[in-house]
Amino acid sequence: MDLKQVIFFFVGLVVVPVWTCKMNRCYEEHELKDAADRKLRTHYPQKAEPHAVSPAPGSPPPACPVEQFTQNPPKHIHARSLSPWRYILVTMEDHFPSTYAEAQCLCSGCILIGENGPEESYDYNSVPVIQSRVFLKKERCDDGNKYYLTPVNHDVIVGCTCARPKTSSQ
């Protein structure tokens, strides 16, 4: 073997496995949260979570809050919107962060001010605004005892907006 072959063999045998191991480093269960927090902070910065509620299982969303438009306007955009929403907590056990806030539209139509004051108008629809967000998914390493973290994109509803309804010709 000449020197080039020895170097190539060394790189293939030692450097490549070390390099790829760093990409999918395996963690003990008790190390996962800290590792995920560190990766999210350095590679995938997360916005602060809005205040959210945990609805009772199977409970319907609150009714469209038309009456709030007769009062002083609330300070938060999700309550002032013509297509208001609330934030609910969503949990994905094998992801980091495992719990996050997602918007839930409160009206089918949009709140408009008519001759008789505010009312829900079905001339427009409340539709979710969706944003792709990076989560770290917990995956088992080949040894079956440790885990590595894989970045995955999930669509998250971040708010609601008013839109014209779709028509059959669209």
Q: Domain map of the chain by residue range?
A: 13-163
Q: How far apart are CA 25 and CA 150, in angstroms?
A: 10
Q: How far apart are CA 65 and CA 81, in angstroms?
A: 11
pLDDT at 21 over 80: no
Q: How far apart are CA 159 and CA 80, in angstroms?
A: 12
pLDDT at position 89: 93
pLDDT at position 22: 47
The mean per-residue pLDDT over the stretch 31-38 comes to 90
pTM, to two decimals: 0.75
Residue 7 pLDDT grade (very low, low, confident, very high; cuts 50, 70, 90): low
Per-residue pLDDT tens for 50-86? Answer: 888 777 777 777 889 998 877 777 788 888 899 999 9
Give 126 or 13, the one with higher predicted confidence. Answer: 126
Identify whether the C-beta of residue 50 lies closer than 8 Å to the C-beta of residue 104.
Answer: no
Q: What is the CATH number of domain 13-163?
A: 2.10.90.10
